[in-house]
Amino acid sequence: MRILHVALGGCLKAPPVEYGITEDTGGHIAYVLGAAMAQARDPRVRSVDIVTRAFGDPALDPVHADPVQSVAPGCTIRRLVTHDMRYLSKESLQAHLPALSRAFCDLLRGMAERPDIIHAHFADAAVLARAAQAEFGIEWTYTPHSLALQKAGAADCPQLQDRIRAERAAVAGAGAIIVSSRDEAERQLLPYGADSEGRTHRINPGVSLDRDRGPGAARDLIAPFLRDAAKPILLAIARPVRKKNLGALVDAYAASPALQDRANLVIVAGLRHGINAGPEEQAGVIRDLFDRVDRYGLWGKVALPARHDGAQIRSLYALAAEGGVFVNPALHEPFGLTLIEAAQAGVPVVATCDGGPVDILQQLEAGMLVDPTNPQDIAAACLQMLDHPRRDWLAQKARHKARAAFNWDRWAAASIQVYAGLRPIRSRQDGPVMRILASDIDGTLTGCVQSAGRFGAWHEMRPRGLMFAVATGRSAPEARRVLREWQLPEPDLFITSVGSEIWRRDGQGGLTLCGDYADHLSGDWDRDAVTATLQGTGIAWQPHYEQRRWKLSLFGDAGDATAVTRALADAGLAAHVIASHGRFIDVLPVRAGKAAALRFEAERHGLSLAQCITAGDSGNDRDMLIASGASILPANAFDELAGITGVGIFRSRDRHAAGVLDGLARLGLTVTPKPKVQHA
């Protein structure tokens, strides 16, 4: 496979990169370089090119004018040369896209072997990808990185309308969309088109930290600013743009004498040549930081270094690991690569509750989320992390999880799988559907690598006429991610969000939401009224990305679920309340649920639930396990399913996917005989 990335903005060059040297030289460049170099290491990949824009500027590295630059074996940067060789900000690139598109197509036209796939980063690169697809038929994917509609007041801002239109076109035209967080996949993209979710894939990116040489270089960098350099540090690293909200961090620090006593504040806000140099927004942010430090009388407690390199950034993380905290106070953070860098370096994190950090901290099972508009909240969280009795243990736990979950080689393998999925797919379900197997994913198919592999082998040989569906509490992008990570087969049908959505394969690697089922559910579903009633119960909500159009989700046990059912009944609202795993509550339209969705699909094929086989392990599987003609419960099923009995129920002695295969063997749907299992 030949892969080509397009990223036009900022100072993209072979490492080392001077991040923050311009306002557009930020995390997306680390992403593109890390992704491309990892893909080039994959044996399935023949070459990886990164296409960016050529420019010359006496204040910037002259390499940016070179047409070709080697990055790593098999990975090359190619720069598009046009008549305007000035460095241009991202906002200024729009007028130059026609010339860049022509230069890009000329580049492709001259290649002996053109790429198999183009990966566009930001909507301006998507313009070039669309031009290449129109002329050469090359499929392309899109990574937004940052979306204009997330900016406060964006919908009413004339200056952002062109960018928003370009982003809508990119979302609509891409064969697949690759993002980093659930917030991007399940919230940020939705205003750009309801069908985008079916083409969206969440893949954890990696990070590329320099080798740890200890905190010495960091101490030398910040010592000139500080009276007591021996204190731990609160560390923030961000581009000097307003949305990063660095001023609020200074406010939080200034308002807390206890925080000032415990730690110094270190803010690395890009690279600067004086406080008035650079673009106006950058200079304005720098001036504002200096003004706040001066007004609050914080000199000697705050370090604002003007210059740094990659080794010094790594050293700052090492210093922060010695009793300090990393802080990201952004008003909105699309993802948050610096949080991963900090966690991998063993630094506890405090981060904004708006955007990707919500998902990151959930995966790390450590750190604290804060309201970025509340300086008191920021200060309190920093103090709590500094003085946490298990601070070091939590930091090391997060470090191990971050290193395992955020890895560029794993990202490369997953991205290649997404690219391959853009080719037309012929379903094995060629003839009429005679039976349907609907299985839960988590704990039912996952949990054992070996048996998951055996299930994949069974799927390749499954009987003709047997449709395979997954029925999960997860969203469609999350279901696909888990299946991919466990190397489980993609099904013919996705029943997601606890049976409140049905997604069908479109034959081109994407999924399409079933509108008929959506209409079926919407008839007696007053989401706003149900939401208001649930808020009145005082029961804690699950994260915002768990809230769907036809699903509202809380934390709570079976007793809390009973209280929710009673509150809805008292309000005269019809709903289906489901408790599962001993800690989750889902509230759906009364016509929704895994059994209801499976029945809806079965009837489309002239079948009933009697011709359906189901497999599951928790309370949100209960309705389909009871209603279907045959049901399989693996040995790891939760106690909340203990009361399910019947002739059609198989309780396997095997766990996870092995238990599912055990039940399928009892039904004559595998070639490997299994010992008889007891009926419940």
pLDDT at 612: 97
pLDDT at 273: 80
Strands 649-651 and 630-633: parallel
Contact between 206 and 409 under an 8 Å Cβ cutoff? The reply is: yes
CB atoms within 10 A of CB 149: 16
Q: Are residues 297 and 339 in the same domain?
A: yes
Q: Please, what's the largest Cα pairwise distance for the chain?
A: 80
For the chain, how big is the Rg over CA atoms in Å?
27
Q: Which of 588, 620, 637 is the last residue of a domain?
A: 588
Q: Are residues 76 and 181 in the same domain?
A: yes
Q: Are residues 352 and 429 in the same domain?
A: no
Spell out a b/e string for 640-657, using b for 16 or more CB atoms within 10 Å of the CB, else e.
bbeebeeebbbbbebbbb
Q: Which of 546, 570, 588 is the last residue of a domain?
A: 588
pLDDT averaged over 10-residue windows placed end to end, the chain, 680 residues:
97 92 89 97 97 95 97 98 93 93 97 97 97 97 91 72 91 95 90 88 91 94 96 95 95 97 95 81 92 96 92 95 97 90 95 91 91 96 95 92 93 96 65 95 97 96 94 96 95 97 91 95 94 96 91 95 96 94 94 97 96 96 95 95 88 97 93 50
Distance CA 67, CA 79 (A): 5
Strands 68-72 and 75-80: antiparallel
pTM for the predicted model, two decimal places: 0.87
Q: Are residues 310 and 355 in the same domain?
A: yes
Number of domains the chain contains: 4
Tokens found for residue 478: 């999350």
pLDDT at 91: 85
pLDDT at 673: 43
Cα of first residue to Cα of last residue in the chain, in angstroms, is 51
Residue 586 has what DSSP assignment? E
Cα three-residue angle 408-412-416, rounded to 5 degrees: 170
Contact between 402 and 343 under an 8 Å Cβ cutoff? The reply is: yes
pLDDT at 149: 86
CATH number at residue 381: 3.40.50.2000
Q: Which of 559, 588, 617 is the last residue of a domain?
A: 588
Contact between 4 and 115 under an 8 Å Cβ cutoff? The reply is: yes
CATH number at residue 450: 3.40.50.1000
Q: Are residues 241 and 366 in the same domain?
A: yes
- For residue 43, the SS3 value is coil
Q: Are residues 278 and 395 in the same domain?
A: yes
Is 59 part of a structural domain of the chain?
yes
Domain boundaries, position 541: 524-588
CATH number at residue 541: 3.90.1070.10
Q: Are residues 176 and 197 in the same domain?
A: yes
Distance CA 250, CA 289 (A): 7
The dihedral built from the CA positions of residue 129, 130, 136 and 141, taken in this order, carries a sign that is positive
Q: Are residues 547 and 652 in the same domain?
A: no
Contact between 188 and 150 under an 8 Å Cβ cutoff? The reply is: yes
Tokens found for residue 299: 């000199």
Q: Are residues 172 and 47 in the same domain?
A: yes
Show Cβ contacts of residue 17 under 8 Å, excluding neighbours closer than 6 positions. Answer: 11, 25, 29, 30, 33, 310
**How deeply is 540 buried, as exposed, middle or buried, from its count of CB atoms within 10 A (0-12, 13-18, 19+)?**
exposed
Q: Are residues 506 and 545 in the same domain?
A: no
Nearest to 572 by CA among 518, 529, 521, 517: 529
